[in-house]
Amino acid sequence: MTTAKTLTMRATCSGVLILAAALPSGRAVAQTESDAAPAWPYVYQPAPPLPLPAPAAPAAAVWSWAPSRFGVALEIGTTWPRDVADRRLVGKNASGGGGLSLQWDALRLERIATVSLDLGWLTTESSTSQDFSGLQEDLKTNVFFLGLAVRHYLLPWLAPYGRIAGGIGWDNLTVGTGTGDFQDKRTFSQGSLGGGLFFRSPRLRLGASASAPHVGLMAHVEGGYILGTSSDFVLTSAPATATSTPISTSPVDIGKVGRDAPYLRISIGLAF
């Protein structure tokens, strides 16, 4: 009996020792818990990635075929008068002059047509001498006109167009020898119908900014026919004398001067 109790006690002590060796000590558990990562909300989070730099904006094109809206041009015009009196006054078969015009693309129908308006001024001057009398004839003409054109682009730089225009003007005729000139001034109206070709260059950007203005070259070559009212000249004069009561003269009616004629118009300018 005593031997059995002794064996039982020894077995119990051995089991307790084995169990104690298998379990970690309180000091070890506490140390393990202190070394663990802290609980939420103190959980470790990695730093957010740095933002990537924004892609650089593409540089604005220096040259562009984008259409222009406005233009200013130098006008050159030539007519071939049909009226005999008109040809006599200009002294040759053709009469030429120059002027200025402002142009505006008022309406654009994409890939179809562009409707433009132009407002301009044209002046001509001619001087002839009558063989039978030796009198000098000087004719100055000024015309203000408004035109409407429709053009269609075949290429970025080429567009055929049709144009109608109307205007008013005045003729200033002087006939004489310089000491007793006869003069008259008459107003008239005229209209024209024609067509031609419009040329343009790519536009150049003036500045480094994408919003900087652009400028390009443009040109028109146009032909057509002018119809206008006649000028009925009646020359009057008071001869220059040293007296306070100069001798009066009777008016001289030289008849009507027509202005119907084919014409050629060339304009060269800047578009922006």
Model pLDDT, residue 248:
53
Contact 152, 161 (CB under 8 A): yes
Model pLDDT, residue 161:
98
* β-bridge partners, 148: 117, 164
pTM above 0.75, yes or no: no
Element (H, E) at 64: strand 63-64
| Residue 146 DSSP SS3 | strand
Model pLDDT, residue 28:
46
Q: Lowest-pLDDT range, 69-83, 240-254, 255-269?
A: 240-254
Residue 12: band (very low, low, confident or very high) from pLDDT cuts 50, 70, 90: low
* β-bridge partners, 108: 114
Contact 77, 98 (CB under 8 A): yes
Task: List the helix and strand counts (H, then E) for the chain.
Answer: 3, 12
Write the DSSP symbol of residue 91: T
Q: Lowest-pLDDT range, 117-121, 218-222, 229-233, 236-240?
A: 236-240
Between CA 136 and CA 127 the distance in angstroms is 7
Residue 103: band (very low, low, confident or very high) from pLDDT cuts 50, 70, 90: very high
| pLDDT beyond 70 at 16 | no
Residue 46 one-letter amino acid: P
Mean of pLDDT over the chain: 81
- In this prediction, residues 159-165 reach a mean pLDDT of 98
Between CA 78 and CA 124 the distance in angstroms is 9
Domain boundaries, the chain: 63-169+187-228+259-271
| Domain 63-169+187-228+259-271 coded CATH 2.30.29 | no
| pLDDT beyond 80 at 17 | no
Query: Encoding tokens for residue 245?
Result: 């009561």
Buried b (16+ CB within 10 A) or exposed e, 87-112: bebbeeeebebebebebebeeeeeee
Contact 197, 224 (CB under 8 A): no
| pLDDT beyond 80 at 254 | no
